Amino acid sequence: MAKKTKQPSLAEQFENLDADTKRRVQQQGTQHGHRVAKIKGSGPENPVKVLKRVLNYTFRNKLAAVLLVVLIILSSAAGAVGSFLLTFVIRAIESIARGQAEFSLLVTWIVAVACVYVVGVVSTFSYNRLMMFIAQGTLKRMRDDMFVNMQYLSLRYFDTHTHGELMSRYTNDVDTLRQMLSQSVPQMISAVVTIVVVLLCMIFMSFTLTLVMLAILSINIICIRFIGAESSKQFLKQQVSIGKVNGYVEEMMEGQKVVKVFCHEDKAREKFKAINEELRISGTRANQLTNMLGPMSNILSYFQYVVVAIVGAVFFATHSVAALSLYSVAAGGNGSFGVGDVGVLIAFLTLIRSFNQPVQQVTQQFNAIIMGLAGAERIFEIFDTPHEDKGGDITLVYGEGGIEKWSWKRPEKDGTFTYIPLRGDIRFRDVIFGYTPEKIILKDISLYAKPGQKIAFVGATGAGKTTITNLINRFYDIQSGSITYDGLDIKSINKDDLRRSLGIVLQDTHLFTGTVMDNIRYGRLTATDDECIAAARLANADYFISHLPEGYNTLIKGDGGNLSQGQRQLLAIARAMVSECPVLILDEATSSIDTRTEKLIEQGMDKLMEGRTVFVIAHRLSTVRNSQAIMVLDHGRIIERGTHDQLIAQKGVYYQLYTGAFELE
C-alpha cells in the first residue's frame, strides 16, 4: 500500500506563496475583517514599537496631533451626548403636556441637542480632512525617504531582494499604511471613545440595563468569533487558490510560445480547470460563511435591543428598585423608574444602537492596523538598512595640481594634497572573493592591465569573469588580496569617483524612459548633442537612429521595447563611449549584434580604446583576438594567460574553445 503523502497545512501553503500574493491575501482579508494577519510571519514582530515609530513619523507637528485627537473625541462624544440629551427633550415634552413647563424649555433642549450634533458634524468633517492631509503628506515623505535611502544601498542588498518584493514596499505596503493612517487609526480612536462615552452614559442612566446589554453583547461576540474563525480558514484557502490561479495564468502568458511549440494547449487547459475548480469550491465556502457574519450580527443586535426594551418596560411598569439609575438619583428620585422616566428608557435604547456599531468597528480595524504596521515594518527595514560606505577619501578631479587632465587627489596628513595622474593601471594581487564566506568564487587571482591595454576574459559560464569586473567597481569587496588603481588601493578611493572613471557596457542592456539622446547622454550628463551624435556614429548606431520616427528625439518606453536587442546594445555602447572614461568594461557588449555590425563597431571601438584600458568579457572568441592578454578562467582560477597566438600555440583549453574541440568531443 502506497504511503499517503502528508498535505501541507494552510499556514505552510500561505508561506509558500510569493511576497506579492501574500500581501494581497492579507490586504483582502483585512477588508473582510478576517484574522489573516495572525498567520505566522505576516504581522510585525513588535507592533507597539512600530506603531510608536509610525506615529512619531506621522505627527511631527505635535499641535496637529493634539488637534486631531480633540476633534475625534468631540466627534465621537457628540453622538452619545446627543442621545443622552434626548432624555431631557422627552421629559420636557411630558412636562409641557402636563402643564408643568413652558414650550421654551423644549426649544432650549432641542437647540442644545442640535448644537451637540452640529459640533459632531463639524468635528467629523474637520478631522477627516485633517487626517487626509496628514496621511498623504506622511506617505509622500515616506516614499521620498524610501527612494532616497534605496539609492545608497549596496548592490548586495538588491541581489538578496527581488524587484517584485521591493516594488511591493512602494505599492502594497504603502497602501496598507495609507488605509491605516487615513481610516483605521481615526476610526479606532473614534470607536473606542464612543464605546467609553456611551457605556458611561448607560451606567449613569441604568446600571441594571447596562448589565443586561453587556450579557447579550457577550453572546453576540462569542457567536461572531466562532463564525469568523471558520470563515477566516475558508477565506485563506480561497486566497491561496487565487494565488495559484494568478501565478499559473501569469506563467502561461509568459510561456505561451513554448506552450504552442510543444502543443501543450490541452494539458495547460486541463490543469487550469483543476486549479480554477479548487478556487470555486474554496470561494463558495468562504463566501457562505462571510455572508453569514453581517446578518448574524444584525440579528443578535436586534435581539439585544428587544431584550433590553422588554426588561426596561418591566422595570418601568413595576417601579422596581432593581433598575437603579444614577440619573434618577441625580434628578432627585429614589433610584427607580418613575413617571416621566420613559425618556431614560428611550434614550437608553438609542444608545444601544450607538454602542454596537463601534464594537464591530474595533474588531475590524484592529486587523487593518496590524496589517498597516506589518507594511510599515517592511518600509522601515529599508530605512534601517546601512548605506553603502563611500569608500576612501581620494577623489577624482580635473585640471588641478598642474595636471591638465583627470587626476587622483589624495589628502596627506599635513593637510596638503598629492595629485596622481589618472592612467588606468589596474592590478589584482592574490585576490580571493566569495559572495558568501562559505562559497568562494575567485581563488588567488593575480593580473595586471597597463594603460591602453585590452585584457580579455574567456571561459565557461560561472567561471568568474563578470565577478572580476564587479570587484573593479567595488560593487563587492574582496575577502583577501588587493586591487590597485594607478598604484592606489581602490578601498582608499571614493566609490563615486572610482565608478565615474569606469565606462561599462553590460550584457543585460537597460534603457530608461526618455529620448534616444537622453539615453546616450546618461553616460555623461554634461555631454552636448554633437558629442552624443559622434558617440552614436562611433558605435555604428547613427544609421538605425536616423531611421527612427523622430530620430534622436524618439521616445523610448518600457526599457526599449520598441527596439531590437541589438539596437539597445548599440545605444549602451554609445552611452559608454560618450562617458570618456579612461577604463572601459565590456561585458558581452556585442553578444546581440550580428557579425557584420560587430566588425564595424570594432573599428570604431579600436579608435575609442586608444590610450584606454579595456576589460572585455566575451564568449565569441573572434572579438578578443587583438587583445594584449587573454585570461582563461575555470572555476574561479586563471588556468591560462597570454596573447591569442601564444594560447593557440599551447593547444590548451583556449585552443579547444577557439577551434570547437569541446563541441566535437
- For the residues 383-405, what does the mean pLDDT come to? 84
137 phi, psi to nearest 5 deg: -65, -40
Residue 412 has pLDDT above 80, yes or no: yes
Helix (H, G, I), strand (E, B) or coil at 398: strand
- For the residues 395-410, what does the mean pLDDT come to? 85
Give the span between the Cα atoms of 240 and 275, in whole angstroms. 11
- For the residues 135-157, what does the mean pLDDT come to? 85
DSSP single-letter state for residue 540: T
Give the span between the Cα atoms of 457 and 502, in whole angstroms. 17
pTM metric for this prediction = 0.66
Alpha-helix residue ranges (DSSP H) falling in 430-555: 465-472, 495-500, 516-521, 529-538, 542-546
Q: What is the pLDDT of residues 24-50, one digit of tens each?
A: 555 544 444 444 444 444 456 677 888
pLDDT level of residue 339 (50, 70, 90 thresholds): very low
Q: For residue 645, give every residue at least 6 positions away whose Cβ sits within 8 Å of its Cβ, in sequence order, or none.
A: none
pLDDT level of residue 603 (50, 70, 90 thresholds): low
pLDDT level of residue 530 (50, 70, 90 thresholds): very high
The three cell numbers locating residue 161: 531582494
- Residue 252 is predicted with a pLDDT of 85
Asked if 178 and 139 touch (Cβ cutoff 8 Å), the reply is yes
Q: What is the mean pLDDT of the chain?
A: 78
Give the span between the Cα atoms of 341 and 329, in whole angstroms. 12
Q: What is the pLDDT of residues 626-652, one digit of tens each?
A: 888 999 988 889 999 988 889 888 888
- Residue 20 is predicted with a pLDDT of 52
- Strands 637-642, 629-634: parallel, antiparallel or unpaired by DSSP? antiparallel
Cα separation values, 419 from 212, 394, 398, 409, 527, Å: 88, 10, 10, 5, 26
Higher pLDDT: 596 or 193? It is: 193
The three cell numbers locating residue 320: 422596581
Q: What is the largest CA-CA distance in the chain?
A: 125
In order of their start, the domains of the chain are: 20-384 (1.20.1560.10), 424-501+581-665 (3.40.50.300), 509-580 (3.40.50.300)
Instruction: Give burial (CB, 10 Å; 0-12/13-18/19+) of 310.
Output: exposed
**Among 1-10, 257-266, 307-316, 529-538, which range has the highest average pLDDT?**
529-538
The three cell numbers locating residue 468: 572580476
Q: What is the pLDDT of residues 289-317, one digit of tens each?
A: 767 766 777 777 778 778 888 887 777 66
Summary count for the chain: helices (H), strands (E): 24, 15
**Among 86-95, 108-117, 208-217, 221-230, which range has the highest average pLDDT?**
108-117
Amino acid (one-letter) located at 275: I
- Residue 600 is predicted with a pLDDT of 63
- Residue 290 is predicted with a pLDDT of 67
Give the span between the Cα atoms of 585 and 633, in whole angstroms. 17
Give the span between the Cα atoms of 58 and 54, in whole angstroms. 6
Q: How many CA atoms lie within 13 A of 198 on its CB side?
A: 26
Per the listing, cell 572585455 goes with 616
Higher pLDDT: 386 or 221? It is: 386
Residue 376 belongs to what H/E stretch?
Answer: helix 342-384
DSSP single-letter state for residue 609: T
- For the residues 332-336, what does the mean pLDDT come to? 47
Amino acid (one-letter) located at 330: A
- For the residues 193-203, what does the mean pLDDT come to? 81
Give the span between the Cα atoms of 536 and 551, in whole angstroms. 12
pLDDT level of residue 325 (50, 70, 90 thresholds): low
Percentage of residues of the chain with pLDDT beyond 70? 82
pLDDT level of residue 338 (50, 70, 90 thresholds): very low
Q: What is the pLDDT of residues 431-451, one digit of tens each?
A: 999 887 778 889 889 998 888
The three cell numbers locating residue 611: 590610450
Strand-pairing partners, residue 640, are 632
Residue 370 has pLDDT above 70, yes or no: yes
